[in-house]
Amino acid sequence: MSSTNQLEFKGYAMTDPSAWSSLSVVPFEPKALGPEDVEVAVAYCGLCGSDVHMLNQSWGSTRQGPLIVGHEIVGRVTRVGEKVRDLKPGDRVGVGAAVGSCMQCRACNDNYENYCRQITFTINSQWPDGTPVQGGFSTGVRAHERFVFPIPDGVELRHAASMMCGGITVYAPLRENGCGPGKKVGVLGIGGLGHYAILFAKAMGAEVYAFTRGTAKAEDAKKMGADHVVDTTVDGFWKPYDMTLDIIISTVDHFPKNFSLRNLLSMLYVHGKFIVVGLPPADEPMPTLHAFDLTSNAGCFIGGSLLGSKDDMKHMLNLAAEKGVKPWIEELPMNRAKEALEGLKAGKPRYRYVLKQDIAPVD
Amino acid sequence: MSSQNLQFKGYALTDPSKWHDLKIIEFKPKTFEPEDVEIAITYCGVCGSDVHTLTQGWGESKLPLVVGHEIVGTVTRVGDKVTEFKPGDRVGVGAQRGSCLRCRQCKEDYENYCTNGIDTYNAEYPDGVVAQGGYSTAIRAHERFVFPIPDEIESRHAASMMCAGLTVYSPLRTHGAGPGKKVGIMGIGGLGHYAILWAKAMGAEVYAFTHDKSKMEDIKKMGADHVIDTTRKSFHKDLTHTLDILLSTRDVFGDSTPLGDYLSMLYVHGRFVTVGLPDADDPLPSIHAFDLAPNGCMMGGSKIGSKKECLEMLELARSKGIKPWIEELPMREVGKALQDLKNNNVRYRYVVKQDIV
């Protein structure tokens, strides 16, 4: 692609929240390209649970005006700001759920830019100057270079797409909490995030326990590499794993009424970590906990995690290239976004939808 | 002291409707085994656990029941497999007196997390003998749960280190309290005041949170760098993303500040650790998964501490000359201590002196 062709910014937008999954192509004005910004022509965009939660208003009302979601973006650099050194037009890159941060605070300076209090998310937000950010169900995005990630040659673009949010969201806490040889990692919920957790935890050398409702996904989970598959509909399913696991990655975005977190926590060894990455609707708090659930249960922890840093991304993509980690995706053209959004809401994908940009296709 | 003359008598709960009215009873001690240490008790600290147990707030207790698990005394007798102690040694026992010693936790210096751990009181040994606590003349405990008290530390000071001190030392140590770290402590009572003393001694910058303005001067004297009044609206906002560790000693939550507000004070991957244990019907304030995401923080608990940690703590206390802020009473007045503690009326730990023999 010639970098002198002006990228025409258009995308599939929600314009009416009462028809949340019906998207129509609209043109939009991106942010002005700053000296540290990178412009990317979108080739593919993965579909994340957050896109559904955002569009169907379950995380609160979205902002006014046409809303383009999508934050598992891969494509090719078309333009870079004058201060950008590490990326150039033509480079294969990805962008995830954030496009900018303050670059000055303690977190930004500590390689924790994903935890910056002034972070600019890719969906449903605005830049500091008020320009709405539009996401990756579009022909192009602009982001600060810290939030643009080179994709190694060993990873195909359509595979890299969903690593930009789904993958990194589970990779970062696995890395942070020492996932590796000798560790026992539980994965709760085998959907987009959960299946990545199995793939990455195995690639990192851990022993993996997959927890899923029923048996429908058991065979797939084994093929993904899970050493053990546990059916959570079985009474007392947690008992054989008492004080066994070092880390549990919880990807479920819904807890049934009267759910007992205590039973899940009982599977953790001393100071084990239950990391919640699944984000339920705003009106669904975590199940009730008593202090005893944390102290008696081996001094365990419940933690959160938000995306990952550029450093995490680099490690994750290198691991994916080195070990040949390939996600299980279902590819659709972007004009079938409605089908994909509703399918994801119903838990259908095996295991991640990736939409191919079809307004102005990019290889 | 000849162990043949050692009587096992203590101030016991006999009627739960009069939870602080304790009567002297004679009780059957643990069956003496080769790895046991027998101790004539001189002092015992008064812990919130004693109140929660006696009031039945943690559930129905055994009856009659002698509580107390901040014990200091003198060794009277040791089993033939005991290598660490001899009669005459000054020792302490905390909130745990036994464990299986075979499981992974016990082998990895996490005996406080043994699934078959035996609490110092309101528990039962496998042979059916009820574990009776330290508001008494004597106790028998497995050597692993008996701690040598350094000469420089007075018995009346060491007593409350056995539970309160250790219970906050363990998480401070585990989570790296030290130079360069910002440690918050919520609730400045028995446990909280120890947390200030230890955290300062370990080199951390200390933020003490209290709703009680009358404690603020004391808290500064204990060494806290900052004292925050939690009755002030939005007190947490000035401290967003600041603390590395936030240790909560609160044992009452009720209808109070959303936990999310406290969690927001943690820096990236900071840890909120609760050591305070409320009554069974007082759960933690609710959180949403969203409360954990913005700083990737962690919320957890900690239970007592290991022998390894206890010895480290005692060495820290010895080397820095750390003394707790205690109020002393004869053991027969433990009822007053218990009531004062329930009403949060103690500065900052009661210790009772054994007066039965």
Residue A283 token pair: 């009106």
Alpha-carbon gap: A298 to the closest alpha carbon of chain B (Å)? 5
From CA B186, how far away is CA B250, in angstroms rounded? 7
Nearest to B289 among A242, A269, A279 (CB): A279
Contact A288 B284 (CB under 8 A): yes
* Cα-Cα-Cα-Cα dihedral sign, residues A146, A148, A149, A153: negative
Nearest to A299 among B278, B286, B301 (CB): B301
Nearest to A291 among B277, B291, B296 (CB): B277
Predicted confidence (pLDDT) at residue A65 exceeds the cutoff of 50? yes
From CA A104, how far away is CA A107, in angstroms rounded? 8
Q: What is the pLDDT of residues A293-305, one digit of tens each?
A: 888 778 999 999 9
* Cα-Cα-Cα-Cα dihedral sign, residues A103, A109, A112, A118: negative
Residues of B in Cβ contact (< 8 Å) with A270: 105, 108, 110, 113
The model carries a pTM of 0.94
Alpha-carbon gap: B288 to the closest alpha carbon of chain A (Å)? 4
Contact A306 B294 (CB under 8 A): yes
CA angle A103, A104, A107 (to 5 degrees): 80
Contact B290 A301 (CB under 8 A): no
User: Stretch A101-110: mean pLDDT, rounded?
Assistant: 96
pLDDT tens for each residue of chain B, 357 residues long? 445 678 999 999 999 999 999 999 999 999 999 999 999 999 999 999 999 999 999 999 999 999 999 999 999 999 999 999 999 999 999 999 999 999 999 999 999 999 999 999 999 999 999 999 999 999 999 999 999 999 999 999 999 999 999 999 999 999 999 999 999 999 999 999 999 999 999 999 999 999 999 999 999 999 999 999 999 989 999 999 999 999 999 888 776 778 899 999 999 999 999 998 888 888 888 889 999 999 999 999 999 999 999 999 999 999 999 999 999 999 999 999 999 999 999 999 999 999 999
B41-to-B80, B91, B135, B344 alpha-carbon distances in Å: 21, 9, 9, 26
Q: What is the pLDDT of residues A248-288, one digit of tens each?
A: 999 998 887 777 899 999 999 999 999 999 988 888 889 98
Burial of B312 (0-12, 13-18, 19+ CB in 10 A): middle
Residues of A in Cβ contact (< 8 Å) with B282: 290
DSSP A191-254: SHHHHHHHHHHHHTT-EEEEEESSSTTHHHHHHHT-SEEEETTSTTTTGGGTTTEEEEEE--S-
Measured from the Cβ of residue A335, the count of other Cβ atoms closer than 10 Å reads 15
The amino acid present at B227, given as its one-letter code, is V
Residues of B in Cβ contact (< 8 Å) with A249: none
Residues of A in Cβ contact (< 8 Å) with B297: 303-304
Asked if residue A240 has a cis previous peptide bond (ω within 30° of 0), the answer is: no
Alpha-carbon gap: A288 to the closest alpha carbon of chain B (Å)? 6
Residues of B in Cβ contact (< 8 Å) with A276: 289, 292
- Which H or E run contains A135? none
Contact B269 A271 (CB under 8 A): no
Residues of B in Cβ contact (< 8 Å) with A284: 288
Residue A278 token pair: 């699944």
Nearest to A291 among B288, B289, B301 (CB): B301
Residues of A in Cβ contact (< 8 Å) with B268: 107, 110, 112, 115
Which residue from B42, B165, B58, B191 is spatially nearest to B121, judged by alpha carbons? Answer: B58
B108 touches chain A (CB under 8 A): yes
Q: What's the mean pLDDT when you consider all of chain A?
A: 95
- Comparing alpha-carbon positions, the chain B residue that sits nearest to A172 is B296
Alpha-carbon gap: A96 to the closest alpha carbon of chain B (Å)? 16
- Comparing alpha-carbon positions, the chain B residue that sits nearest to A105 is B241
B6-to-A138, B2, B136 alpha-carbon distances in Å: 84, 7, 11
- Work out the pLDDT band at A3, boundaries 50, 70, 90: very low
Nearest to B297 among A173, A243, A304 (CB): A304
Tell me, letter by letter, the H, E, C secondary structure of B132-179: CCCCECEEEEEHHHEEECCCCCCHHHHHHHCCHHHHHHHHHHHCCCCC
Q: What is the pLDDT of residues A218-251, one digit of tens each?
A: 999 999 999 999 999 999 999 999 999 999 999 9
CA angle A238, A239, A243 (to 5 degrees): 85
φ/ψ bin of A260: left (φ > 0), alpha (ψ from -120 to 50), beta (otherwise): beta
Chain B residues 28-67 within an 8 A CB cutoff of chain A: none
Contact B284 A107 (CB under 8 A): no
User: Stretch A44-60: mean pLDDT, rounded?
Assistant: 92
Which residue from B211, B161, B166, B94 is spatially nearest to B322, judged by alpha carbons? Answer: B161
Q: What is the pLDDT of residues A288-336, one digit of tens each?
A: 888 888 887 789 999 999 999 999 999 999 999 999 999 999 999 999 9
Contact B274 A273 (CB under 8 A): no
Nearest to B174 among A117, A176, A271 (CB): A271
Number of A/B CB contacts below 8 angstroms equals 124
Nearest to A302 among B295, B298, B302 (CB): B298
Which residue from A280, A221, A250, A210 is spatially nearest to A49, judged by alpha carbons? Answer: A280
Confidence at residue B107, expressed as pLDDT on a 0 to 100 scale:
97
From CA B150, how far away is CA A350, in angstroms rounded? 63
Residue B229 token pair: 């009044």
The amino acid present at B70, given as its one-letter code, is E
End-to-end CA distance of chain A: 9
Contact B287 A173 (CB under 8 A): no
B169 touches chain A (CB under 8 A): no
Residues of A in Cβ contact (< 8 Å) with B267: 106-107
Chain B residues 226-245 within an 8 A CB cutoff of chain A: 240-241
Confidence at residue B3, expressed as pLDDT on a 0 to 100 scale:
53
Nearest to B286 among A288, A299, A303 (CB): A288
Alpha-carbon gap: B275 to the closest alpha carbon of chain A (Å)? 7
Residue B200 token pair: 């300062």
Best probe of the B interface among A302, A307, A311, by most B CBs < 10 A, is A302
Which residue from B164, B38, B73, B136 is spatially nearest to B334, judged by alpha carbons? Answer: B136
Cβ atoms B325, B129 nearer than 8 A: no
Which residues share a beta bridge with B33?
Answer: none
Confidence at residue A320, expressed as pLDDT on a 0 to 100 scale:
98
B271 touches chain A (CB under 8 A): yes
Confidence at residue B253, expressed as pLDDT on a 0 to 100 scale:
79
**Dihedral of the alpha carbons of A213, A216, A221, A224, in degrees to the nearest 10:** -150
B100 touches chain A (CB under 8 A): no
A8-to-A11, A78, A138, A303, B252 alpha-carbon distances in Å: 10, 11, 10, 42, 59
Alpha-carbon gap: A292 to the closest alpha carbon of chain B (Å)? 7
State the helix-helix crossing angle for A166-176 and A192-203, rounded to 10 degrees. 40
Residues of B in Cβ contact (< 8 Å) with A176: 269, 296
Alpha-carbon gap: A361 to the closest alpha carbon of chain B (Å)? 35
Alpha-carbon gap: A154 to the closest alpha carbon of chain B (Å)? 30
Measured from the Cβ of residue A239, the count of other Cβ atoms closer than 10 Å reads 11
- Comparing alpha-carbon positions, the chain B residue that sits nearest to A292 is B277
ipTM: 0.92
Cβ atoms A282, A59 nearer than 8 A: yes
Residues of B in Cβ contact (< 8 Å) with A273: 298
Which residues share a beta bridge with B228?
Answer: B209
Cβ atoms A350, A25 nearer than 8 A: no
- Which H or E run contains A107? helix A106-109
Residues of A in Cβ contact (< 8 Å) with B296: 115, 173, 176, 303-306
Q: For chain B, how many residues are written? A: 357
Which residue from B326, B299, B307 is spatially nearest to B197, judged by alpha carbons? Answer: B326
Contact B274 A291 (CB under 8 A): yes
- Which H or E run contains A57? none
B344 touches chain A (CB under 8 A): no
Name the strands in the sheet holding A268-276, side by side, starting at the edge strand that comes first in the sequence. Answer: A228-231, A207-212, A184-188, A245-250, A268-276, A301-304, B298-301, B266-274, B243-248, B182-186, B205-210, B226-229
Alpha-carbon gap: A286 to the closest alpha carbon of chain B (Å)? 5
Residue B34 token pair: 């080769």
In the block, which residue shows the tokens 């959570």? A232
